């Protein structure tokens, strides 16, 4: 069945068809519609879930952690300030190895108050141990919610899917909602090996001395490595089942190229238009859309870099005191492989300023000569 | 002519509130009571928008916008700074009901227990209005919001935040209503006279969220008080005093005007009436207990 829905509603439908059993969420613009829709699903008995209308995001994540520890599929959604307030509990979810799934609508951080998009909110949670998926369109938001549960429940880590404020969250597109039977087959009921259960008297998360803490962290890293494979294989299976295949990186017209453009989120759609235009003019350029940021797909990036002599990264984010975050991560992935090609890092569109085709073309043109660490595009 | 409300306007015309916004009237009166030597700390709420976008501000006092959950603690910081600088400036924490009853209650409780020298005013519109009408713990029983759809309307009673503040044994706690500006202003001025944390909760109806004709804000506000649903009272060093004694309207009359209650049946309304009567009775008893019944 096809439905015309916003990115936000695609997230709500994703939670519904994934049969999230406990939803704990707190409203924040531009995520609000996700939780309002879930409230109406629950009120109309279309979704068999407990919906806890918590008093803060910190409590939202804590409640998801509790529900997940008790063996339920837990869901939440937030944005910017709300995600930042969850920070402590984001670590908790990952370190407790709980496959909570959440949607984060990418909104720039205040002050000043703002509601428009950039990626600094989610990228600031880089080191919390969450998988991060950057979605391009509503269908992908819906599809990724289902996949995220499957992947996360397999490897025992939480997952965040990210969608751009307004550009994606509030824009309506047709989304195919698959039959529930098939979704249930793809994503069976969550049944963890360890859970809060009176017949098993485990204590979770108690004081751990240096003798073992270190190994527990190693296991999270191993789970992330496993995640790389799992994302690919679940994405492939999803394609077989529902006709849409997903992976770590979407390679758009990356055959026979000398220049690689790297983007993420919904602006990648604009990037694709630019690539089409430039390819028509005979330029040898392709686009790598980074769908997954954590775990970072190093191998795939290296492979892509092998065949080009220039990489251009557009970051709608910044690590203050350094540079664009995708740019940094990509360069560091290439370093040990002696890949000696210029990588250009642009900062663009912070706080929701439009990134137009003209902007992208301009950046591509500007990427020439000795690369600088940071190029601010369109600064007033 | 003797004005019963200070004439000076510290809120400009170019504010971004909706038509009939109770919250904007509340601010206008509050600043008339507090005067220019005031700093406002405002967490995320409708007032983050009403004040105006960069580079504008409709308030003629300094405004510090702060994170949603931090009105009281950020105000505590500003207050400490005033103290160490030897200034008498009033520090006003100005927050919505969500920022007070829910996400900000920890910070507020902390400040109140420490006795930090701030005036905390909660303009209560009984839901998260900034984000588009989601329930808060100030939302009354029975109300529709976008997270409590009519089919599953709010089933928990409104949190009694006033009594929570009284329980902190702060010097001054009061309720107010924008339809009674003299009373509101008197209470703010009184609060200013105390050292420590002062809490005032002012009913500020929201036509957008409550679903009523914006022209009726004052009428409706009055009715909230006249029905005893939102009683006006103050608690000064533990002594209760009811500001307006008459209770001559019903719950039915009050909720009839508002779309947010339009799904309620007679039975539910009767139940609500019983609760209001009980709460009112309790309040009168509290006042009597302290022997301050004289008007
Ligand atoms: C940590 C955090 N979570 C959520 C939000 C989104 N948010 C902004 S204002 C608001 C509701 C405010 O409600 P209330 O305090 O009652 O004030 P009102 O908008 O009704 O005036 C919410 C949920 C935020 N800014 N920060
Ligand atoms: Mg409110």
Q: Cite the residue boundaries of each domain of chain A with CATH code 3.40.50.970.
A: 2-242
Q: Do B177 and B230 meet the contact criterion of CB atoms below 8 Å apart?
A: yes
Q: Do B99 and B65 meet the contact criterion of CB atoms below 8 Å apart?
A: no
Q: Cite the residue boundaries of each domain of chain A with CATH code 3.40.50.920.
A: 249-377
What's the rounded Cα separation, in Å, for the pair A248 and A238? 14
End-to-end CA distance of chain B: 26
Asked if the C-beta of B134 comes within 8 angstroms of chain A's C-beta atoms, the answer is yes
Q: Is the dihedral of CA A21, A26, A31, A33 positive or negative?
A: positive
Residue linked to tokens 């995708």: A326
Residue A13: the pLDDT is 98
Does A29 sit within 8 Å of B69, measured CB to CB? no
- Assess whether the C-beta atom of A85 lies below 6 angstroms from ligand 1: yes
Residue A95: the pLDDT is 98
Does B132 sit within 8 Å of A29, measured CB to CB? yes
What is the average per-residue pLDDT within A326-352?
94
Give the pair of three-digit tokens for residue B132: 């588009």
Query: Which residue minimizes the CA distance to atom 3 of ligand 1?
Result: A82
Residue A205: the pLDDT is 94
Chain B nearest C-alpha distance from A137 (Å): 24
Residue B3: the pLDDT is 85
Q: Is the dihedral of CA B59, B63, B65, B68 positive or negative?
A: negative
ipTM score for this prediction = 0.91
Asked if the C-beta of A109 comes within 8 angstroms of chain B's C-beta atoms, the answer is no
Nearest neighbour of B65 by CB, restricted to A32, A35, A113:
A113
What's the mean pLDDT when you consider all of chain A?
97
User: Ligand 1, residues B128, B137, B161, B205: which to mutate, most atoms within 8 A of Cβ?
Assistant: B128
Share of chain A above pLDDT 90, in %: 97
DSSP assignments along A139-190, one per residue: HHHHHHHHHHHHHHHHHT--EEEEEETTTTTT-EEEEE---HHHHHHHSPPP
Note the residue count of chain A.
380
Q: What is the pLDDT of residues B27-76, one digit of tens each?
A: 999 999 999 999 999 999 999 999 999 999 999 999 999 999 999 999 99
B76 SS3 class: helix
Q: What is the pLDDT of residues B171-190, one digit of tens each?
A: 999 999 999 999 999 999 99
Question: Which residue stretches of B85-206 are H helix?
Answer: 97, 105-114, 161-167, 181-192
If one counts every other C-beta atom within 10 angstroms of the C-beta of residue A137, the result is 18
Nearest neighbour of A56 by CB, restricted to B103, B147, B149:
B103
What's the mean pLDDT when you consider all of chain B?
96
Share of chain B above pLDDT 70, in %: 99
Q: If you measure CA to CA, which chain B residue comes closest to A36?
A: B147
Asked if the C-beta of B55 comes within 8 angstroms of chain A's C-beta atoms, the answer is no
Residue B2: the pLDDT is 82
Residue B180: the pLDDT is 98
Tell me the domains of chain B and their CATH numbers. Answer: 22-290 (3.40.50.970)
Q: What is the pLDDT of residues A296-338, one digit of tens each?
A: 999 999 999 999 999 999 999 999 999 999 999 999 999 988 7
What is the average per-residue pLDDT within B66-91?
97
What's the rounded Cα separation, in Å, for the pair B266 and B142? 12
Q: If you measure CA to CA, which chain A residue comes closest to B136?
A: A55
pLDDT score of A362 more than 80: yes
Task: Output the CATH code of domain A249-377.
Answer: 3.40.50.920
Chain B nearest C-alpha distance from A28 (Å): 6
What is the average per-residue pLDDT within B80-108?
97
Best residue in A36, A45, A61, A165 to probe B by mutation, most B CBs within 10 Å?
A36
The helix or strand, by DSSP H or E, that contains position B233, with its residue range, turns out to be: strand B233-236
Task: Check whether the bond before A14 is cis (ω within 30° of 0).
Answer: no
- Assess whether the C-beta atom of A82 lies below 6 angstroms from ligand 1: yes
Q: If you measure CA to CA, which chain B residue comes closest to A26?
A: B134
What's the rounded Cα separation, in Å, for the pair A179 and B218? 52
Q: If you measure CA to CA, which chain B residue comes closest to A55?
A: B102
Q: What is the pLDDT of residues A62-100, one digit of tens each?
A: 999 999 999 999 999 999 999 999 999 999 999 999 999
Residue B295: the pLDDT is 46
Asked if the C-beta of A85 comes within 8 angstroms of chain B's C-beta atoms, the answer is yes
- Edge-to-edge strands, sheet with B90-96: B63-65, B38-42, B90-96, B118-124, B197-203, B172-177, B233-236, B239-242
CB within 8 Å of B250: residues ≥ 6 apart: B227, B273
Share of chain B above pLDDT 90, in %: 96
A288 SS3 class: strand
What's the rounded Cα separation, in Å, for the pair A125 and A325? 12
pLDDT score of A159 more than 90: yes
Smallest Cα–Cα separation from B136: which of B151, B48, B146, A107? B146
Q: Which residues of chain B have a CB within 8 Å of the CB of A9?
A: none
Task: Output the CATH code of domain A2-242.
Answer: 3.40.50.970
pTM of the model: 0.95
What is the average per-residue pLDDT within B79-89?
96
Residue A79: the pLDDT is 98
pLDDT score of A126 more than 50: yes
Chain B nearest C-alpha distance from A61 (Å): 14
pLDDT score of B292 more than 80: no
If one counts every other C-beta atom within 10 angstroms of the C-beta of residue B3, the result is 7
Does B103 sit within 8 Å of A81, measured CB to CB? no
Give the pair of three-digit tokens for residue B9: 């306007």
Cα(B138) to centroid of ligand 1, in Å? Answer: 13
Residue A338: the pLDDT is 72
If one counts every other C-beta atom within 10 angstroms of the C-beta of residue B148, the result is 23
Q: Calculate Rg over the CA atoms of chain A.
A: 20
Residue B1: the pLDDT is 75
Q: Is the dihedral of CA B70, B73, B75, B77 positive or negative?
A: negative
Q: What is the pLDDT of residues B192-230, one digit of tens each?
A: 999 999 999 999 999 999 999 999 999 999 999 999 999
């Amino acid at each position: 069945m096809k439905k015309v829905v916003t990115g936000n509603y695609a997230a709500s439908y994703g939670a519904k068809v994934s049969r999230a059993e406990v939803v704990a969420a707190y409203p924040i613009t531009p995520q609000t519609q996700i939780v309002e829709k879930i409230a109406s699903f629950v009120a109309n008995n279309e979704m068999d879930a407990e919906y806890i209308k918590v008093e803060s995001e910190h409590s939202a994540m804590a409640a998801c952690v509790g529900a997940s520890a008790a063996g339920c599929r837990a869901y939440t959604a937030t944005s910017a300030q709300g995600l930042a307030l969850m920070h402590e509990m984001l670590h908790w979810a990952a370190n407790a190895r709980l496959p909570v799934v959440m949607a984060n609508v990418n909104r720039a951080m205040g002050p000043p108050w703002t509601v428009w998009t950039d990626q600094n909110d989610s990228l600031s949670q880089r080191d919390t141990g969450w998988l991060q998926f950057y979605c391009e369109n509503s269908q992908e938001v819906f599809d990724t919610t289902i996949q995220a549960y499957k992947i996360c429940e397999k490897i025992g880590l939480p997952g965040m899917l990210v969608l751009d404020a307004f550009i994606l969250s509030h824009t309506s597109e047709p989304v195919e909602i698959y039959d529930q039977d098939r979704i249930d087959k793809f994503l069976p009921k969550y049944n963890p090996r360890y859970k809060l259960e009176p017949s098993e008297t485990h204590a979770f998360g108690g004081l751990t001395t240096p003798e073992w803490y270190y190994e527990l962290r190693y296991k999270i890293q191993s789970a992330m490595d496993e995640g790389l494979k799992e994302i690919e294989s679940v994405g492939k299976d999803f394609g077989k089942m529902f006709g849409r295949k997903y992976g770590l990186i979407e390679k758009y017209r990356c055959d026979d190229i000398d220049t690689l453009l790297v983007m993420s989120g919904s602006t990648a759609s604009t990037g694709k238009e630019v690539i089409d235009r430039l390819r028509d003019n005979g330029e040898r350029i392709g686009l790598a859309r980074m769908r997954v940021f954590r775990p970072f797909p190093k191998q795939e990036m290296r492979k892509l870099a092998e065949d080009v002599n220039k990489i251009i990264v557009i970051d709608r984010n910044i690590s203050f005191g350094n540079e664009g975050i995708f740019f940094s991560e990509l360069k560091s992935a290439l370093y040990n492989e002696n890949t000696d090609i210029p990588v250009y890092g642009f900062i663009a569109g912070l706080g929701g300023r439009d990134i137009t085709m003209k902007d992208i073309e301009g950046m591509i043109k500007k990427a020439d000569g000795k690369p600088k660490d940071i190029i601010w595009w369109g600064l007033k | 002519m003797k004005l019963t409300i200070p004439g000076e306007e510290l809120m400009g015309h170019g504010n971004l509130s909706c038509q009939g916004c109770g919250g904007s009237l509340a601010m206008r009166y509050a600043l008339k009571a507090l005067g220019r030597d005031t700093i406002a700390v405002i967490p995320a709420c409708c007032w983050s928008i009403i004040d105006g976008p960069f580079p504008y501000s409709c308030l003629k006092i300094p405004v510090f916008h702060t994170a949603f959950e931090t009105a009281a603690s950020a105000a505590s910081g500003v207050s400490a700074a005033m103290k160490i600088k030897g200034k008498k400036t009033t520090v006003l924490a100005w927050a919505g009901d969500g920022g007070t009853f829910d996400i900000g209650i920890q910070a507020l409780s902390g400040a109140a227990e420490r006795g930090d020298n701030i005036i905390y005013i909660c303009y209560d519109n009984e839901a998260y209005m900034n984000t588009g009408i989601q329930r808060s713990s100030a939302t009354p029983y029975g109300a529709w919001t976008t997270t409590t759809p009519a089919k599953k309307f709010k089933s928990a009673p409104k949190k009694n935040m006033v009594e929570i503040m009284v329980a902190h044994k702060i010097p001054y706690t009061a309720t107010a209503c924008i339809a009674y500006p003299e009373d509101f202003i008197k209470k703010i001025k009184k609060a200013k006279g105390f050292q420590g944390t002062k809490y005032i909760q002012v009913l500020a109806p929201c036509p957008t969220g409550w679903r009523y004709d914006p022209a009726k804000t004052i009428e409706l506000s009055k009715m909230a008080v006249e029905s005893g649903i939102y009683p006006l009272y103050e608690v000064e060093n533990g002594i209760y005093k009811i500001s307006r004694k008459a209770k001559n309207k019903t719950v039915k009359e009050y909720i009839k005007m508002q779309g947010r209650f339009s799904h309620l049946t007679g039975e539910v309304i009767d139940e609500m009436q019983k609760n209001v009567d009980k709460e009112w009775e309790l309040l009168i008893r509290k006042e009597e207990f302290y022997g301050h019944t004289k008007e």
